[in-house]
Structure 1
Amino acid sequence: MRLAQANEVWGAARFATDASRHAIAQFGIRPHAIDLAASDLNDLPSDFDYVLHFAWMRAPLRQLDEAIKVNVEGAGLVLQHCRNAKAALVVSSTGIYTGNPDPWHVYTESDPIGNGTTAYTATSPTCKVGLEAVARFCARMFNLPVTIARLNTVCGLDGTYFEIMAKFAVQGRPIPFTVVSDPNPHSPIHTLDMQDQVEALLGSAGVPALITNWCGDEVISTQAVVADIAALSGHPASIDVRPHLGAAAGNIGDSNTRRSITGPCKIAFEPAFAALFREHETVWTRDGVLAGG
């Protein structure tokens, strides 16, 4: 959003509804419909200075072929199309790492990848490896400076992990997630910190591609957040533990590489999450009433 205050910014996505177009247009971003599943960039200009590639399709394993087409081939098509850009930021995930059974294991960029699995989005680990391989190839093939950022859990609105938990609790509904361990720690990063760090991450892009974890500087467990949600909402809240073979027990990212590029994060998780909760509790409650008829 901040980028659009002083730059011409285009947002390329499917935009299945007018509401999704308006959601970004209100921030000064120009929506442009593309369809990566059909390899259709729909006359997207190719002369952008910078590319931020966040596009991602989550799917069950039976749709792996389609997910590869969108997530892996699609990324390659975008980077090829915009190969004359000054730099590209390609967003991967800490889900790419081979799962460690120790919930307190801290994943560094040199940890093994390629044998990950998740309980909630079966195609993602495979597609993330493919995405990074394509991004690394494009950096070398087109001499396009690339940063690959392995994103951790995001703190913010619009369908983020902890926001969904809070929304369901406020509405008196069971939290729709399970975790594979207790504790289940993460290194969440706030969307405002992400906005602040984009410029530095683009500025550090290289050939070959730079790889960094994109996580916060704190460690917060899912169970602690659920307890906070219960206290803030006044509603009981809990999350079930359901082991999943091969899945990472925790999601702690080592932030040292990112800190060397961007400096420390500015937003502390607990007060920011509490503020987000207080600001949006009424809307979440209203949405729950409307959904219930």
Structure 2
Amino acid sequence: MLSLKLCEGTWDVLQDQRILLTGVTGRIGGAIAAALAPTNVVWGLARYGRAGSMEEVERTGVIPLRGDFSRDSLENIPPELDYVVHVAADIRPHSAEAGMQDNSDGAARLMSRCRNAKAFLHVSATGVYAQHSDPYFVYPETADLGGAYGGLYSATKLAGEGAVRAAAQILDLPTIICRQNVQYGGGGTDPGLIDRFLDHLVNTGEILLPASGPLVIGPIHEADIVDLIEPCLAAASVPARIVNWGGDEPVDWQEMFEFAAELIGKTPKLVRRAEFNFPSCYPDPTARRALAGQCKISWRDGVRRTLALRHPEIVLKASK
């Protein structure tokens, strides 16, 4: 385990390190890249299928590596790396086979290529948990597994955790599996769940809700996710360690969006839809707080920041 002293707003251990980052063209990967690249040598492995994406990554100071870690040769990955941060995932696999390749096989292949790294961080999802009947249930890392929501995504992400656990022991590679809840706070054109529905509220005045009952989540701002990278890498171990990535408090979706409506000065219309069937999941933050302390951004502050970033044309009101 690394010797680590957390520093406010700076990296301590993660300076002058050789780091491989996957998912660099995505929301979370992009935020992590922007934080790591100024003080480290960072390679970003991605397909770079979107026009201009490679140039965007280069502007952050990351060295682009074009490739598919699930199917292509991995010979272009530098053999001697200090750390690997594996964010990439196939969130909408078109088949079970594609999902298994991208979310399970690929992670193990990557670990094999990077077996000499000091630590491997694998981003999973809280969708792997078996859904509890109580929407306010607090999910510890030891909760039952087998999430039914998300279809092939949740199933293959759970398979990916199995592959990563096994590879960590076979390769003796210190590993940490980070189960992410709902991330938000970005300003990109490919918004996350909360960002997308904040846009919907701004544009329509509607708050979308499940057909019945509450939706309870543990949202985490992308800035807080970035702050978790260093302490989580420091906590990597064999066997692999597992930690939830979620906020410090359970948040009711309706309360969150009514707060957002207050900020933008709208009286919202509550709209319940059967297809708005996202599962409640508040992941227990105890283990995460033991590693990294409390999140710096509360959900209320995070909502305000997100609205200001995504909708600078709106003068936000003071909250009550």
TM-score, normalized by the shorter chain, greater than 0.5? yes
Residue in 2 that maps onto 1:152: 181
- After superposition, residues 91-130 of structure 1 pair within 5 angstroms as 91-114=123-146, 116-118=147-149, 121-130=150-159
Residue in 1 that maps onto 2:11: none
- After superposition, residues 169-188 of structure 1 pair within 5 angstroms as 169-172=201-204, 179=210, 181-188=212-219
AA aligned to 1:195 is: V
CA distance in 2, matches of 1:128, 1:92: 6
Residue in 2 that maps onto 1:50: 83
With over 3 angstroms needed to count, the CA separation of the structure-2 counterparts of 1:22 and 1:165, relative to structure 1, is farther
Residues 102 and 249 in structure 1, CA contact (< 8 A), matched pair in contact too? no
CA deviations over 1:102-143 (Å, ceiling 9, x no partner): 1000000111112x111xx32122112111111111110110
- After superposition, residues 132-281 of structure 1 pair within 5 angstroms as 132-157=161-186, 158=188, 159-172=191-204, 179=210, 181-234=212-265, 236=268, 238-242=270-274, 249-281=279-311
For structure 1, which runs of at least 5 residues remain unmatched after alignment?
285-293
Residues 169 and 237 in structure 1, CA contact (< 8 A), matched pair in contact too? no
CA deviations over 1:5-25 (Å, ceiling 9, x no partner): 210111111111233223332
Matching of residue 67 in structure 1 with residue 115 in structure 2: no
CA distance in 1, matches of 2:55, 2:251: 33
Matching of residue 18 in structure 1 with residue 51 in structure 2: yes
When normalised by structure 2's length, the TM-score is: 0.79
Bigger fraction of residues in helix: 1
| Percent of aligned pairs sharing the same letter | 31
Corresponding pairs, count: 277
When normalised by structure 1's length, the TM-score is: 0.86
For structure 2, which runs of at least 5 residues remain unmatched after alignment?
1-33, 315-320
With over 3 angstroms needed to count, the CA separation of the structure-2 counterparts of 1:283 and 1:82, relative to structure 1, is farther
Greater Cα shift, 185-194 or 82-91: 185-194
With over 3 angstroms needed to count, the CA separation of the structure-2 counterparts of 1:80 and 1:74, relative to structure 1, is same
CA deviations over 1:13-65 (Å, ceiling 9, x no partner): 111123322333222122211124533436222321100111111226x6121
AA aligned to 1:281 is: H
CA distance in 1, matches of 2:161, 2:40: 27
